[in-house]
A and B are shown apart, each in its own frame.
Chain A
Amino acid sequence: MNKRPIPYADPISTIEAVEETPASPSAPKRMTLNMGPQHPSTHGVLRIVLQLEGETIISAKPDIGFLHTGIEKQMETLTYAKAVTLTDRVDYLANLSNNLCYCLAVEKLLQLEIPARAQWLRVMMTEFTRLNSHLVWLGTHALDIGAMSMFFYCFREREDILRILEMFSGQRMMTSYIRVGGVALEAPRGWQQVVGKFIRSFPSKVDQYEDLLNANPIWTRRTKGVGFISLEDMLDLGITGPMLRAAGLNWDARKNEPYSSYDKFNFEVPVETSNDVWGRYRVRMREMRESAKIITQALEGMPEGDFQADAPHVVLPQREKMKTQMEALIYHFKIVTEGYRVPAGEVFQCIEAPRGEIGYYIVSDGTSKPYRCHMRTPSFANLQGLPTLLEQTLIADSIAALGSMDFVLGDTDR
Protein backbone atom coordinates (compact mmCIF):
# COMPACT_ATOMS: atom_id res chain seq x y z
CA MET A 1 0.00 0.00 0.00
CA ASN A 2 1.94 3.02 -1.18
CA LYS A 3 -0.98 5.44 -1.22
CA ARG A 4 -0.34 9.08 -0.82
CA PRO A 5 -2.22 10.53 2.16
CA ILE A 6 -5.38 12.33 1.17
CA PRO A 7 -5.18 15.89 2.42
CA TYR A 8 -8.69 16.05 3.89
CA ALA A 9 -7.74 17.45 7.24
CA ASP A 10 -7.11 21.04 6.29
CA PRO A 11 -10.17 22.50 4.58
CA ILE A 12 -8.42 25.74 3.66
CA SER A 13 -5.80 24.05 1.51
CA THR A 14 -6.41 23.92 -2.18
CA ILE A 15 -6.40 20.39 -3.45
CA GLU A 16 -5.28 19.77 -6.99
CA ALA A 17 -6.38 16.62 -8.73
CA VAL A 18 -4.13 13.92 -7.29
CA GLU A 19 -3.51 10.65 -9.07
CA GLU A 20 -2.76 7.88 -6.67
CA THR A 21 -0.62 4.88 -7.37
CA PRO A 22 -2.83 1.79 -7.42
CA ALA A 23 -2.36 -0.90 -4.81
CA SER A 24 -1.73 -3.59 -7.42
CA PRO A 25 -1.03 -3.22 -11.15
CA SER A 26 -4.47 -4.65 -12.02
CA ALA A 27 -6.41 -2.37 -9.64
CA PRO A 28 -7.96 0.71 -11.25
CA LYS A 29 -6.35 4.07 -10.64
CA ARG A 30 -7.97 6.29 -8.05
CA MET A 31 -8.09 10.04 -8.21
CA THR A 32 -9.02 12.64 -5.60
CA LEU A 33 -10.86 15.53 -7.16
CA ASN A 34 -11.82 18.76 -5.47
CA MET A 35 -15.20 20.15 -6.51
CA GLY A 36 -16.09 23.64 -5.39
CA PRO A 37 -16.38 25.83 -3.41
CA GLN A 38 -16.82 27.97 -6.51
CA HIS A 39 -18.24 25.28 -8.79
CA PRO A 40 -21.41 26.70 -10.38
CA SER A 41 -23.45 23.52 -9.93
CA THR A 42 -22.90 23.47 -6.16
CA HIS A 43 -25.32 26.42 -5.83
CA GLY A 44 -23.28 28.47 -3.44
CA VAL A 45 -20.11 27.65 -1.65
CA LEU A 46 -20.18 23.94 -1.07
CA ARG A 47 -16.95 22.04 -1.44
CA ILE A 48 -16.97 18.31 -2.11
CA VAL A 49 -13.86 16.14 -2.11
CA LEU A 50 -14.53 13.29 -4.51
CA GLN A 51 -12.65 10.03 -4.78
CA LEU A 52 -12.93 8.73 -8.29
CA GLU A 53 -12.22 5.48 -10.00
CA GLY A 54 -12.43 6.43 -13.63
CA GLU A 55 -15.76 8.25 -13.82
CA THR A 56 -17.31 6.47 -10.84
CA ILE A 57 -17.50 8.22 -7.48
CA ILE A 58 -16.14 5.99 -4.73
CA SER A 59 -16.67 8.44 -1.91
CA ALA A 60 -17.74 12.04 -1.51
CA LYS A 61 -16.97 14.24 1.47
CA PRO A 62 -18.82 17.55 1.72
CA ASP A 63 -17.04 20.43 3.37
CA ILE A 64 -19.34 23.18 4.64
CA GLY A 65 -19.07 26.30 6.75
CA PHE A 66 -17.93 28.86 4.17
CA LEU A 67 -21.08 30.92 4.70
CA HIS A 68 -21.24 30.65 8.48
CA THR A 69 -22.37 34.01 9.84
CA GLY A 70 -23.09 33.17 13.47
CA ILE A 71 -26.80 33.90 13.29
CA GLU A 72 -27.58 31.78 16.36
CA LYS A 73 -25.03 33.73 18.40
CA GLN A 74 -26.28 37.09 17.15
CA MET A 75 -29.88 36.21 17.98
CA GLU A 76 -28.93 35.91 21.65
CA THR A 77 -27.98 39.60 21.63
CA LEU A 78 -31.20 40.92 20.07
CA THR A 79 -34.66 41.29 21.54
CA TYR A 80 -37.35 38.91 20.34
CA ALA A 81 -38.85 41.55 18.05
CA LYS A 82 -35.53 42.43 16.42
CA ALA A 83 -34.40 38.83 15.97
CA VAL A 84 -37.11 38.31 13.31
CA THR A 85 -34.94 40.17 10.83
CA LEU A 86 -32.15 37.62 11.23
CA THR A 87 -34.41 34.68 10.45
CA ASP A 88 -34.91 36.10 6.94
CA ARG A 89 -31.23 35.82 6.30
CA VAL A 90 -30.92 32.14 7.12
CA ASP A 91 -32.37 30.89 3.86
CA TYR A 92 -32.64 33.51 1.16
CA LEU A 93 -35.20 31.49 -0.79
CA ALA A 94 -37.47 30.61 2.12
CA ASN A 95 -37.34 33.77 4.21
CA LEU A 96 -41.01 33.80 5.13
CA SER A 97 -40.97 30.15 6.18
CA ASN A 98 -38.19 30.97 8.62
CA ASN A 99 -40.08 34.05 9.84
CA LEU A 100 -43.16 31.94 10.39
CA CYS A 101 -41.39 29.16 12.27
CA TYR A 102 -39.64 31.61 14.59
CA CYS A 103 -42.84 33.56 15.26
CA LEU A 104 -44.86 30.40 15.93
CA ALA A 105 -42.25 29.29 18.46
CA VAL A 106 -42.21 32.65 20.28
CA GLU A 107 -46.02 32.83 20.21
CA LYS A 108 -46.17 29.37 21.76
CA LEU A 109 -43.99 30.61 24.61
CA LEU A 110 -46.10 33.76 24.97
CA GLN A 111 -49.33 31.72 24.52
CA LEU A 112 -50.62 34.31 22.10
CA GLU A 113 -53.80 33.90 20.06
CA ILE A 114 -53.39 34.99 16.44
CA PRO A 115 -56.45 36.34 14.57
CA ALA A 116 -57.72 34.40 11.57
CA ARG A 117 -56.87 37.06 9.00
CA ALA A 118 -53.22 37.12 10.11
CA GLN A 119 -53.03 33.35 9.89
CA TRP A 120 -54.48 33.30 6.39
CA LEU A 121 -52.13 36.06 5.26
CA ARG A 122 -49.26 34.01 6.68
CA VAL A 123 -50.36 30.91 4.81
CA MET A 124 -50.69 32.84 1.56
CA MET A 125 -47.27 34.43 1.90
CA THR A 126 -45.47 31.21 2.84
CA GLU A 127 -47.04 29.51 -0.16
CA PHE A 128 -45.70 32.32 -2.36
CA THR A 129 -42.33 31.58 -0.78
CA ARG A 130 -42.70 27.93 -1.72
CA LEU A 131 -43.48 28.87 -5.31
CA ASN A 132 -40.52 31.24 -5.35
CA SER A 133 -38.16 28.60 -3.99
CA HIS A 134 -39.35 25.84 -6.31
CA LEU A 135 -39.12 28.16 -9.32
CA VAL A 136 -35.51 29.04 -8.52
CA TRP A 137 -34.81 25.36 -7.97
CA LEU A 138 -36.35 24.36 -11.29
CA GLY A 139 -34.58 27.10 -13.22
CA THR A 140 -31.13 26.42 -11.82
CA HIS A 141 -31.51 22.64 -11.81
CA ALA A 142 -32.53 22.65 -15.45
CA LEU A 143 -29.64 25.00 -16.20
CA ASP A 144 -27.23 22.50 -14.62
CA ILE A 145 -28.59 19.67 -16.71
CA GLY A 146 -28.49 21.71 -19.89
CA ALA A 147 -31.98 23.12 -20.49
CA MET A 148 -30.98 26.76 -20.49
CA SER A 149 -34.23 28.46 -21.43
CA MET A 150 -36.03 27.07 -18.34
CA PHE A 151 -34.04 29.51 -16.26
CA PHE A 152 -35.55 32.50 -18.04
CA TYR A 153 -39.12 31.17 -17.88
CA CYS A 154 -38.86 30.41 -14.16
CA PHE A 155 -37.29 33.74 -13.30
CA ARG A 156 -40.04 35.50 -15.25
CA GLU A 157 -42.65 34.13 -12.82
CA ARG A 158 -40.34 34.58 -9.85
CA GLU A 159 -40.09 38.27 -10.68
CA ASP A 160 -43.89 38.55 -10.43
CA ILE A 161 -43.80 36.85 -7.02
CA LEU A 162 -41.08 39.19 -5.79
CA ARG A 163 -43.21 42.14 -6.93
CA ILE A 164 -46.12 40.79 -4.91
CA LEU A 165 -43.87 40.37 -1.86
CA GLU A 166 -42.67 43.94 -2.34
CA MET A 167 -46.25 45.14 -2.61
CA PHE A 168 -47.14 43.52 0.70
CA SER A 169 -44.04 44.25 2.73
CA GLY A 170 -41.96 46.87 0.94
CA GLN A 171 -39.12 44.42 0.37
CA ARG A 172 -38.45 41.89 -2.37
CA MET A 173 -36.40 39.32 -0.49
CA MET A 174 -35.68 40.13 3.15
CA THR A 175 -39.30 40.88 3.91
CA SER A 176 -39.60 40.22 7.68
CA TYR A 177 -43.30 40.37 6.89
CA ILE A 178 -44.37 37.84 9.50
CA ARG A 179 -43.88 39.24 12.99
CA VAL A 180 -44.58 37.95 16.46
CA GLY A 181 -48.29 38.57 16.98
CA GLY A 182 -49.38 38.68 13.34
CA VAL A 183 -47.98 40.25 10.20
CA ALA A 184 -46.15 43.55 9.80
CA LEU A 185 -48.64 45.42 7.63
CA GLU A 186 -52.23 45.21 6.47
CA ALA A 187 -52.59 43.84 2.94
CA PRO A 188 -52.22 46.77 0.49
CA ARG A 189 -55.14 48.23 -1.41
CA GLY A 190 -55.90 46.28 -4.57
CA TRP A 191 -53.94 43.18 -3.60
CA GLN A 192 -56.78 40.91 -4.71
CA GLN A 193 -56.41 42.04 -8.33
CA VAL A 194 -52.64 41.56 -8.41
CA VAL A 195 -52.61 38.18 -6.65
CA GLY A 196 -55.69 37.04 -8.60
CA LYS A 197 -54.14 37.94 -11.95
CA PHE A 198 -50.96 36.08 -11.10
CA ILE A 199 -52.59 32.99 -9.66
CA ARG A 200 -55.11 32.61 -12.51
CA SER A 201 -52.32 32.47 -15.05
CA PHE A 202 -49.85 30.45 -12.99
CA PRO A 203 -51.16 26.90 -13.70
CA SER A 204 -50.77 27.57 -17.42
CA LYS A 205 -47.15 28.57 -16.76
CA VAL A 206 -46.54 25.25 -14.99
CA ASP A 207 -48.07 23.55 -18.04
CA GLN A 208 -45.55 25.44 -20.13
CA TYR A 209 -42.61 24.16 -18.05
CA GLU A 210 -43.91 20.63 -18.24
CA ASP A 211 -44.38 20.91 -22.00
CA LEU A 212 -40.74 21.86 -22.25
CA LEU A 213 -39.40 19.16 -19.96
CA ASN A 214 -41.67 16.12 -19.63
CA ALA A 215 -41.14 14.80 -23.13
CA ASN A 216 -37.65 16.21 -23.53
CA PRO A 217 -35.39 13.22 -24.24
CA ILE A 218 -32.28 14.82 -22.70
CA TRP A 219 -34.17 15.80 -19.54
CA THR A 220 -35.75 12.37 -19.06
CA ARG A 221 -32.51 10.49 -19.69
CA ARG A 222 -30.58 12.62 -17.29
CA THR A 223 -33.15 12.41 -14.49
CA LYS A 224 -34.91 9.01 -14.66
CA GLY A 225 -33.19 6.38 -12.53
CA VAL A 226 -30.52 8.83 -11.37
CA GLY A 227 -29.77 9.71 -7.76
CA PHE A 228 -31.40 6.80 -5.98
CA ILE A 229 -31.20 6.66 -2.18
CA SER A 230 -33.34 4.28 -0.16
CA LEU A 231 -36.10 5.54 2.14
CA GLU A 232 -34.55 3.82 5.17
CA ASP A 233 -31.24 5.57 4.51
CA MET A 234 -33.00 8.91 4.15
CA LEU A 235 -34.89 8.59 7.43
CA ASP A 236 -31.72 7.45 9.18
CA LEU A 237 -29.73 10.34 7.72
CA GLY A 238 -32.34 12.95 8.61
CA ILE A 239 -33.33 13.92 5.07
CA THR A 240 -36.75 15.60 4.88
CA GLY A 241 -39.07 17.32 2.46
CA PRO A 242 -39.70 16.58 -1.22
CA MET A 243 -36.95 13.94 -1.27
CA LEU A 244 -38.91 11.80 1.18
CA ARG A 245 -42.16 12.36 -0.67
CA ALA A 246 -40.48 11.28 -3.92
CA ALA A 247 -39.68 7.99 -2.15
CA GLY A 248 -43.32 7.31 -1.31
CA LEU A 249 -43.52 8.61 2.25
CA ASN A 250 -46.61 10.72 2.79
CA TRP A 251 -45.32 13.10 5.42
CA ASP A 252 -45.96 16.81 5.26
CA ALA A 253 -46.02 18.90 8.43
CA ARG A 254 -48.84 21.00 6.95
CA LYS A 255 -51.06 17.91 7.13
CA ASN A 256 -49.57 15.88 9.98
CA GLU A 257 -49.12 18.67 12.52
CA PRO A 258 -51.11 21.59 11.08
CA TYR A 259 -50.00 25.05 12.09
CA SER A 260 -51.29 28.51 11.23
CA SER A 261 -54.72 27.20 10.13
CA TYR A 262 -53.41 24.96 7.34
CA ASP A 263 -56.10 22.47 8.38
CA LYS A 264 -58.73 24.82 6.91
CA PHE A 265 -57.27 24.54 3.43
CA ASN A 266 -58.02 21.85 0.92
CA PHE A 267 -54.90 20.51 -0.76
CA GLU A 268 -53.11 17.27 -1.48
CA VAL A 269 -49.63 16.13 -0.57
CA PRO A 270 -47.96 14.96 -3.78
CA VAL A 271 -46.23 11.60 -3.40
CA GLU A 272 -44.19 9.77 -6.01
CA THR A 273 -42.57 6.37 -5.71
CA SER A 274 -39.76 6.42 -8.25
CA ASN A 275 -37.25 7.81 -5.72
CA ASP A 276 -34.94 9.42 -8.26
CA VAL A 277 -34.23 12.87 -9.67
CA TRP A 278 -37.28 12.54 -11.92
CA GLY A 279 -39.54 11.73 -8.96
CA ARG A 280 -38.28 14.75 -7.02
CA TYR A 281 -38.94 16.90 -10.07
CA ARG A 282 -42.49 15.53 -10.32
CA VAL A 283 -43.13 16.11 -6.60
CA ARG A 284 -41.99 19.74 -6.78
CA MET A 285 -44.00 20.45 -9.94
CA ARG A 286 -47.13 19.04 -8.33
CA GLU A 287 -46.39 20.95 -5.13
CA MET A 288 -46.37 24.16 -7.16
CA ARG A 289 -49.87 23.38 -8.41
CA GLU A 290 -51.03 22.61 -4.86
CA SER A 291 -49.52 25.85 -3.57
CA ALA A 292 -51.39 27.72 -6.29
CA LYS A 293 -54.58 26.03 -5.09
CA ILE A 294 -53.91 27.13 -1.50
CA ILE A 295 -53.25 30.72 -2.61
CA THR A 296 -56.50 30.72 -4.60
CA GLN A 297 -58.41 29.54 -1.53
CA ALA A 298 -56.73 32.19 0.61
CA LEU A 299 -57.60 34.83 -1.96
CA GLU A 300 -61.26 33.83 -2.15
CA GLY A 301 -61.87 33.17 1.54
CA MET A 302 -59.65 35.76 3.24
CA PRO A 303 -61.42 36.51 6.54
CA GLU A 304 -62.05 40.06 7.70
CA GLY A 305 -60.66 41.28 10.97
CA ASP A 306 -57.40 42.28 12.56
CA PHE A 307 -54.05 41.41 11.05
CA GLN A 308 -52.34 41.54 14.44
CA ALA A 309 -53.14 40.03 17.81
CA ASP A 310 -54.71 42.13 20.52
CA ALA A 311 -51.59 42.18 22.66
CA PRO A 312 -50.35 45.76 23.06
CA HIS A 313 -47.31 44.68 25.09
CA VAL A 314 -46.02 42.55 22.19
CA VAL A 315 -47.31 44.09 18.96
CA LEU A 316 -46.07 47.52 17.90
CA PRO A 317 -48.94 50.06 17.89
CA GLN A 318 -50.18 51.72 14.70
CA ARG A 319 -48.48 55.03 13.90
CA GLU A 320 -51.82 56.87 13.96
CA LYS A 321 -52.59 55.64 17.48
CA MET A 322 -49.16 56.76 18.68
CA LYS A 323 -50.03 60.33 17.74
CA THR A 324 -53.27 60.37 19.71
CA GLN A 325 -52.93 57.86 22.56
CA MET A 326 -50.50 58.08 25.47
CA GLU A 327 -50.61 54.30 26.14
CA ALA A 328 -49.70 53.48 22.54
CA LEU A 329 -46.68 55.76 22.78
CA ILE A 330 -45.56 54.15 26.05
CA TYR A 331 -45.97 50.63 24.66
CA HIS A 332 -44.02 51.60 21.55
CA PHE A 333 -41.19 52.97 23.68
CA LYS A 334 -41.15 49.86 25.89
CA ILE A 335 -41.15 47.40 22.99
CA VAL A 336 -38.47 49.23 21.01
CA THR A 337 -36.09 49.88 23.88
CA GLU A 338 -36.42 47.03 26.34
CA GLY A 339 -38.50 44.57 24.37
CA TYR A 340 -41.18 42.33 25.82
CA ARG A 341 -40.40 39.63 28.29
CA VAL A 342 -41.13 36.06 27.34
CA PRO A 343 -41.98 33.55 30.09
CA ALA A 344 -39.20 31.08 30.84
CA GLY A 345 -39.51 27.80 29.00
CA GLU A 346 -38.51 26.01 25.84
CA VAL A 347 -40.25 25.05 22.61
CA PHE A 348 -39.37 23.18 19.47
CA GLN A 349 -41.56 24.29 16.60
CA CYS A 350 -41.47 22.53 13.23
CA ILE A 351 -42.98 23.62 9.94
CA GLU A 352 -42.84 22.37 6.37
CA ALA A 353 -40.54 24.62 4.37
CA PRO A 354 -39.87 24.26 0.62
CA ARG A 355 -36.76 22.21 1.38
CA GLY A 356 -38.09 20.13 4.25
CA GLU A 357 -38.49 20.39 7.98
CA ILE A 358 -37.50 23.67 9.63
CA GLY A 359 -37.35 23.47 13.40
CA TYR A 360 -36.72 26.33 15.81
CA TYR A 361 -35.69 25.40 19.33
CA ILE A 362 -36.02 28.49 21.50
CA VAL A 363 -35.03 28.59 25.16
CA SER A 364 -36.24 31.55 27.16
CA ASP A 365 -34.93 32.50 30.59
CA GLY A 366 -37.70 35.05 31.22
CA THR A 367 -35.86 38.08 29.82
CA SER A 368 -36.54 40.00 26.62
CA LYS A 369 -33.82 38.24 24.59
CA PRO A 370 -33.77 34.60 23.53
CA TYR A 371 -31.36 32.68 25.75
CA ARG A 372 -30.70 30.17 23.01
CA CYS A 373 -32.16 29.82 19.54
CA HIS A 374 -31.21 26.71 17.61
CA MET A 375 -32.30 26.32 14.02
CA ARG A 376 -32.80 22.87 12.64
CA THR A 377 -32.42 23.75 8.98
CA PRO A 378 -33.39 21.33 6.23
CA SER A 379 -30.36 21.97 4.02
CA PHE A 380 -27.91 21.03 6.77
CA ALA A 381 -29.66 17.75 7.43
CA ASN A 382 -30.18 16.95 3.76
CA LEU A 383 -26.55 17.58 2.85
CA GLN A 384 -25.51 14.97 5.35
CA GLY A 385 -26.99 12.38 3.00
CA LEU A 386 -24.82 13.53 0.13
CA PRO A 387 -22.05 10.87 0.49
CA THR A 388 -24.68 8.11 0.44
CA LEU A 389 -26.46 9.71 -2.51
CA LEU A 390 -23.32 10.08 -4.62
CA GLU A 391 -21.61 6.77 -3.86
CA GLN A 392 -21.14 4.53 -6.89
CA THR A 393 -22.68 7.02 -9.30
CA LEU A 394 -21.10 8.61 -12.33
CA ILE A 395 -19.59 12.04 -11.95
CA ALA A 396 -21.88 13.40 -14.68
CA ASP A 397 -24.92 12.16 -12.72
CA SER A 398 -23.66 13.78 -9.56
CA ILE A 399 -24.68 17.20 -10.93
CA ALA A 400 -28.27 16.04 -11.41
CA ALA A 401 -28.32 14.30 -8.01
CA LEU A 402 -26.91 17.37 -6.25
CA GLY A 403 -29.45 19.64 -7.89
CA SER A 404 -32.35 17.37 -6.94
CA MET A 405 -31.49 17.82 -3.25
CA ASP A 406 -32.25 21.54 -3.51
CA PHE A 407 -30.06 22.89 -0.74
CA VAL A 408 -29.19 26.48 0.04
CA LEU A 409 -25.78 27.01 1.55
CA GLY A 410 -26.87 29.95 3.67
CA ASP A 411 -29.41 27.62 5.21
CA THR A 412 -26.72 24.99 5.80
CA ASP A 413 -24.13 27.18 7.46
CA ARG A 414 -26.37 29.75 9.18
Chain B
Amino acid sequence: MTHPAILETINALGETTLIADPAQIVDLCRFLKDKENYIRLSSITAVDWHPAQSRFEVVYHLHSLEPFRRLRVKTRINGDKPEIESVTSVWRSANWYEREVWDMFGIHVNNHPDLDRILMPTDWEGHPLRKDYPVHGYKYSYSNE
Protein backbone atom coordinates (compact mmCIF):
# COMPACT_ATOMS: atom_id res chain seq x y z
CA MET B 1 0.00 0.00 0.00
CA THR B 2 1.48 3.32 -1.04
CA HIS B 3 0.18 6.77 -0.31
CA PRO B 4 2.14 10.03 0.07
CA ALA B 5 0.79 10.49 3.62
CA ILE B 6 2.33 7.25 4.92
CA LEU B 7 5.64 8.08 6.56
CA GLU B 8 6.45 4.65 7.99
CA THR B 9 4.98 1.17 8.30
CA ILE B 10 5.59 -0.85 11.47
CA ASN B 11 4.79 -4.51 12.04
CA ALA B 12 4.87 -5.54 15.69
CA LEU B 13 3.08 -8.23 17.73
CA GLY B 14 1.11 -9.24 14.66
CA GLU B 15 -0.39 -5.79 14.20
CA THR B 16 0.31 -3.28 11.44
CA THR B 17 0.75 0.39 12.23
CA LEU B 18 0.99 3.21 9.72
CA ILE B 19 2.61 6.44 10.83
CA ALA B 20 0.88 9.18 8.87
CA ASP B 21 1.30 12.86 8.16
CA PRO B 22 -1.39 14.70 10.16
CA ALA B 23 -1.93 17.27 7.40
CA GLN B 24 -3.11 14.59 4.96
CA ILE B 25 -5.05 12.39 7.36
CA VAL B 26 -8.47 12.82 5.69
CA ASP B 27 -7.00 12.04 2.29
CA LEU B 28 -5.31 8.91 3.66
CA CYS B 29 -8.48 7.72 5.41
CA ARG B 30 -10.51 8.24 2.24
CA PHE B 31 -7.89 6.20 0.35
CA LEU B 32 -7.92 3.41 2.95
CA LYS B 33 -11.70 3.21 2.91
CA ASP B 34 -12.17 3.32 -0.86
CA LYS B 35 -9.11 1.47 -2.15
CA GLU B 36 -8.18 -0.85 0.73
CA ASN B 37 -11.73 -1.64 1.83
CA TYR B 38 -11.39 -0.54 5.46
CA ILE B 39 -15.10 0.13 5.70
CA ARG B 40 -15.24 0.17 9.51
CA LEU B 41 -13.67 2.61 11.91
CA SER B 42 -13.33 0.74 15.16
CA SER B 43 -12.18 3.60 17.36
CA ILE B 44 -10.27 6.86 17.55
CA THR B 45 -8.26 7.75 20.60
CA ALA B 46 -5.17 9.69 21.57
CA VAL B 47 -2.05 9.21 23.66
CA ASP B 48 -0.38 12.03 25.55
CA TRP B 49 3.44 11.83 25.53
CA HIS B 50 3.92 14.85 27.79
CA PRO B 51 6.49 16.53 27.87
CA ALA B 52 7.67 15.53 24.37
CA GLN B 53 7.68 18.25 21.71
CA SER B 54 5.25 16.50 19.37
CA ARG B 55 3.09 15.72 22.35
CA PHE B 56 -0.02 13.93 21.13
CA GLU B 57 -0.55 10.81 19.11
CA VAL B 58 -3.97 10.41 17.52
CA VAL B 59 -4.67 6.74 16.89
CA TYR B 60 -7.24 5.35 14.43
CA HIS B 61 -8.18 1.68 14.47
CA LEU B 62 -9.58 0.53 11.16
CA HIS B 63 -11.22 -2.75 10.30
CA SER B 64 -11.89 -4.44 7.01
CA LEU B 65 -14.39 -7.28 6.79
CA GLU B 66 -13.39 -8.48 3.32
CA PRO B 67 -10.56 -9.55 3.65
CA PHE B 68 -10.70 -9.74 7.42
CA ARG B 69 -7.92 -7.56 8.83
CA ARG B 70 -7.23 -4.66 11.14
CA LEU B 71 -5.01 -1.64 10.78
CA ARG B 72 -3.77 1.11 13.08
CA VAL B 73 -3.03 4.60 11.78
CA LYS B 74 -1.10 6.96 14.02
CA THR B 75 -0.26 10.61 13.59
CA ARG B 76 1.85 12.75 15.87
CA ILE B 77 0.82 16.33 16.45
CA ASN B 78 2.31 19.29 18.23
CA GLY B 79 1.42 20.05 21.83
CA ASP B 80 1.29 23.86 21.70
CA LYS B 81 -1.90 24.21 19.72
CA PRO B 82 -3.04 20.64 19.03
CA GLU B 83 -5.49 20.28 16.19
CA ILE B 84 -6.43 17.66 13.63
CA GLU B 85 -8.77 17.46 10.69
CA SER B 86 -12.04 15.58 11.22
CA VAL B 87 -12.66 12.29 9.42
CA THR B 88 -16.43 12.34 9.90
CA SER B 89 -16.76 12.82 6.14
CA VAL B 90 -15.19 9.37 5.68
CA TRP B 91 -16.85 7.42 8.52
CA ARG B 92 -19.84 8.83 10.36
CA SER B 93 -18.81 6.86 13.47
CA ALA B 94 -15.86 9.24 13.90
CA ASN B 95 -18.25 11.85 15.29
CA TRP B 96 -18.41 10.75 18.92
CA TYR B 97 -14.84 9.45 19.04
CA GLU B 98 -13.53 12.83 17.94
CA ARG B 99 -15.71 14.55 20.49
CA GLU B 100 -14.18 12.26 23.11
CA VAL B 101 -10.67 13.09 21.91
CA TRP B 102 -11.51 16.81 22.23
CA ASP B 103 -13.12 16.30 25.63
CA MET B 104 -10.38 14.17 27.14
CA PHE B 105 -7.24 15.53 25.46
CA GLY B 106 -8.15 19.01 24.26
CA ILE B 107 -7.14 18.24 20.69
CA HIS B 108 -9.24 20.55 18.55
CA VAL B 109 -10.92 18.74 15.66
CA ASN B 110 -11.36 21.04 12.68
CA ASN B 111 -14.46 20.83 10.48
CA HIS B 112 -16.29 18.64 12.98
CA PRO B 113 -20.09 18.94 12.69
CA ASP B 114 -20.77 19.20 16.42
CA LEU B 115 -17.60 19.57 18.45
CA ASP B 116 -18.62 19.65 22.09
CA ARG B 117 -17.74 17.85 25.29
CA ILE B 118 -19.30 14.41 25.41
CA LEU B 119 -18.47 12.70 28.72
CA MET B 120 -17.61 15.66 30.94
CA PRO B 121 -20.07 18.50 31.69
CA THR B 122 -19.93 21.42 29.25
CA ASP B 123 -18.58 23.79 31.90
CA TRP B 124 -15.73 21.48 32.93
CA GLU B 125 -12.25 22.95 33.08
CA GLY B 126 -9.30 21.05 31.70
CA HIS B 127 -8.96 17.83 29.75
CA PRO B 128 -8.78 14.85 32.12
CA LEU B 129 -6.72 12.32 30.17
CA ARG B 130 -3.80 14.68 29.70
CA LYS B 131 -0.80 13.53 31.68
CA ASP B 132 -0.44 16.87 33.48
CA TYR B 133 -4.03 16.67 34.75
CA PRO B 134 -4.10 15.32 38.34
CA VAL B 135 -5.97 12.06 38.87
CA HIS B 136 -8.27 13.61 41.49
CA GLY B 137 -8.93 16.68 39.38
CA TYR B 138 -8.10 20.27 40.28
CA LYS B 139 -11.04 20.88 42.54
CA TYR B 140 -10.36 18.14 45.06
CA SER B 141 -6.59 18.06 44.83
CA TYR B 142 -4.64 18.41 48.08
CA SER B 143 -1.29 19.00 46.39
CA ASN B 144 -1.42 22.80 46.80
CA GLU B 145 -2.14 22.81 50.51
Contacts and interface: CB of A to CB of B under 8 A. Distances in A.
B134 to A, nearest CB: 10
Contacts of A257: 68
Contacts of B30: none
A348 B68 contact: no
B136 to A, nearest CB: 10
Given A65-B121, A108-B14, 18 more contacts: A12-B122, A72-B104, A73-B129, A73-B135, A109-B13, A236-B39, A236-B92, A347-B15, A350-B42, A372-B47, A374-B45, A376-B42, A376-B45, A381-B43, A381-B93, A381-B96, A384-B95, A414-B119
A11 B45 CA distance: 24
A102 interface: no
B1 interface: no
B120 A65 contact: yes
A10 B122 CA distance: 7
Contact of A238 (B17, B91, B120, B123): B91
A238 B40 contact: yes
A68 B42 CA distance: 21
Contacts of B92: 236-237
B70 interface: yes
B42 A11 contact: no
Nearest to B69: A257
Contact of B122 (A11, A74, A108, A350): A11
Interface of A: 9-12, 64-65, 68, 70, 72-74, 76-77, 108-109, 111, 235-238, 249, 251, 256-257, 345-348, 350, 357, 359, 361, 363, 371-372, 374, 376, 380-381, 384, 413-414
* B-side interface mostly: loop
A347 B120 contact: no
A358 to B, nearest CB: 11
Interface string B32-50: 0000000111110101100
A97 B135 CA distance: 26
Interface in B62-106: 65, 68, 70, 72, 91-93, 95-96, 104
Nearest to A61: B114
A235 B48 CA distance: 29
A348 B41 contact: no
A73 B128 contact: yes
Nearest to A250: B65
Contacts of A414: 119
Nearest to B92: A236
5 contacts: A11-B122, A108-B14, A109-B13, A345-B12, A346-B72
B118 interface: yes
Nearest to B72: A348
A359 B61 contact: yes
Contacts of A12: 121-123
B59 A361 contact: yes
Given A238-B41, A350-B70, A65 B118 contact: yes
Contact of B61 (A64, A72, A376, A384): A376
B13 A347 contact: yes
Given A359-B43, A376-B42, A236 B128 contact: no
A345 B120 contact: no
Contacts of B122: 9-12
B68 A374 contact: no
Nearest to A348: B61
Contacts of A381: 43, 93, 96
A251 B123 CA distance: 41
B114 to A, nearest CB: 9
A238 B12 contact: no
Contacts of B116: 9
B96 A380 contact: yes
Nearest to A251: B65
Contacts of B120: 65, 68
Nearest to B94: A238
Q: Which 3 pairs between the two chains have the least Cβ-Cβ distance?
A: A238-B93, A376-B43, A374-B45
Nearest to B134: A73
A380 B44 CA distance: 12
Contacts of B61: 348, 359, 361, 376
A350 B62 CA distance: 12
Contacts of A384: 93, 95-96
Contacts of A108: 13-14
Nearest to A376: B43
Contacts of B118: 64-65
A334 B108 CA distance: 42
Contacts of B42: 238, 348, 350, 357, 359, 376
- Most chain-B Cβ atoms within 10 A of its Cβ — which of A256, A348, A381? A348
B47 A371 contact: yes
Contacts of B41: 238
Contacts of B59: 361, 374
